[in-house]
Structure 1
Amino acid sequence: MTYCVGLMLEAGMVLLSDTRTNAGLDNIATYRKMFHFEQPGERIITVLTAGSLSVTQTTLARLQEAIDDPDATHETSILMAPSLLKVAEIIGDTLSTVRQDIVHKMNASKVSTAASMIVAGQRAGGLMRMFLVYPEGNFIEATEDTPYLQIGEHKYGKPILDRVVTTKTSLEDAQKAAILSMDSTLRSNLSVGMPLDLAVIKCDDCKVTMQRRIEAGDEDFARMSNAWSEALRDGFSQIPLKT
C-alpha cells in the first residue's frame, strides 16, 4: 500500500508520497509514486499513484507513449490538452482502460487491480487544479472547502489536515502539515514507508519549484516527528478530565 497527499493553496501546491510497495510481509520494495510531466513556464502536471503497481506503471507508460507519439493530439497527450480538466479525463480514461485489460487477464486470481491517482498542475494562463482519479476513471476536484486530496492509507494522516489546512495556509506550513500527516501514517501503518518524495509548485510558476527526497534517518524529519510527538503529549496532559 502507500500514502500520497496533495494540498492546493492560494500560494501553490504541496505534494508528498511514500515509496513502499508490498505484496506480502516478505516481499517489500521501493518504487517512486510521484511523477512530473513538465514544460517549464508552460505547464506542469504531477501524478501521484496508489494501488496496483502493474496498473499504475502501465498507465504511466501509456501516458508517456502518447506524449512521444508524433501524431499526438490534444485528445491523446496530456502535454497538449487544452485544460487540466482534459488532462484528468485523459488520465482517467487511460487508468480505466488499463485496469480493465489487466482484470480480464487475471480473472482467476484474487489479486487486487484497484489503483487511484492524484493529478495536479497548471498551464500558463490557467488556474491551478487538483483531481483525485478513481479506479473506474471518474474523478473529483479539490475545492476551497476541501483543499487537499489523499490516496492510499489516508485515515491516519487526515486529522491534522482537517484541523490546520485551509486555502490560505502558507507553502511552508503546508509542507509541515503534509510531513506530519505522513509521520502519523508511518507510525500507524507498516505498509507505508520511507523514503518520501516532496514537491512544491508555486502558483503561476508552471514548473516544479522545489523537490526533495526524504530518506530514512533524515535529521530534519526526525526533529519534526519528535517535536510533534512531544507537543501531542504536552497537549494531552494539559486537558482536564471533568467527572
Structure 2
Amino acid sequence: MPRFALKIEYDGSPFAGWQRQADQPSVQGAVEAALARLEPGPHTIAAAGRTDSGVHATGQVAHCDLMRDWDPFRLSEALTYHLKPLPVAIIDCAGVADDWHARFTATERRYLFRLIARRAPLTVEAGGIWQVKMPLDVAAMQVGADHLLGRHDFTTFRAALCQADSPVRTLDELRIEKVPTHAGQLLHIHVRARSFLHNQVRSIVGTLERVGSGAWQPDDVRTALLARDRAACGPVSPPHGLYLAGVTYPDDPFRNA
C-alpha cells in the first residue's frame, strides 16, 4: 500500500483537538472522512503531534496508507476539496517509504505562540492571538525564558493528566520576537524541541506573561522549574494563540514534492 505524507494547515477553533473522538469534531476525523470519499475506508492516519482543542497548525504532518498510487498533487487537491467547508487544507503531499512515520520519524517540532498587548479589541485576528491589556516587558520575559533552555525536568510545566513516561525534555529554543504591528505590542514566541509534554508550551507562555506584566520576576521562572510541582506554574495560556508551525525530519519528504 503506498504511503503518503500530508502537510496540513487548520484553524483549530471548531475542533476538539487533533485526535479523533466519537462524539466531537476533530481534525483527524475530518481528514479521515475526506480520505473515505476517495477510497473505501475505514482510514486511520497518524500525526506528528496531537494538538489540543482550539490549537491551530500551519505545518502539521500526518501520513496515510492508500490502495491507489496517487499523484501527490492530485491527492492533496482532492482531499482539500472534500474537506470543504471546514477550515482544513492539505498544503503539501509526498510519497514516502512504507516505514516512514509522521510521529516517530520526526526529529523536531516547532511551535509559534502569538501574543498581543493592546486595549482595543481584536477584529480581523480575533481567535488567532492571545490578547492581554497591559504592555509587557519583553526583555524580562526573555531572561525568564532563558532559564528553561536545555534539558530539564518540566513537571511544573506539564498538565496534571499528561501521560508521558518522563517529564524530562530538552528545550532547544525559546525566543521572544517583537513583531511590527499597526496597534499594540505583538509578540511571537518561538519554541523548538524534539518533543513536548501535554500543555508544556501553553504553561510556559502563561508563566512568561506573568513575568512580562511584572507579577513575577525572571528568576521566579527558575524557582518554578526547580520546584517540579504543577502548583508552582503560572496560569496556562489560552489555546487560540498557539500554532504547530512545523516538523523536521532527517530527510524532508516535501523537499522535492
Same fold (TM over 0.5): no
TM, length-normalised to structure 1: 0.27
* Structure having greater relative contact order (Cα 8 Å, sep ≥ 6): 1
Q: When you count helix as a share of all residues, which structure comes out higher?
A: 1
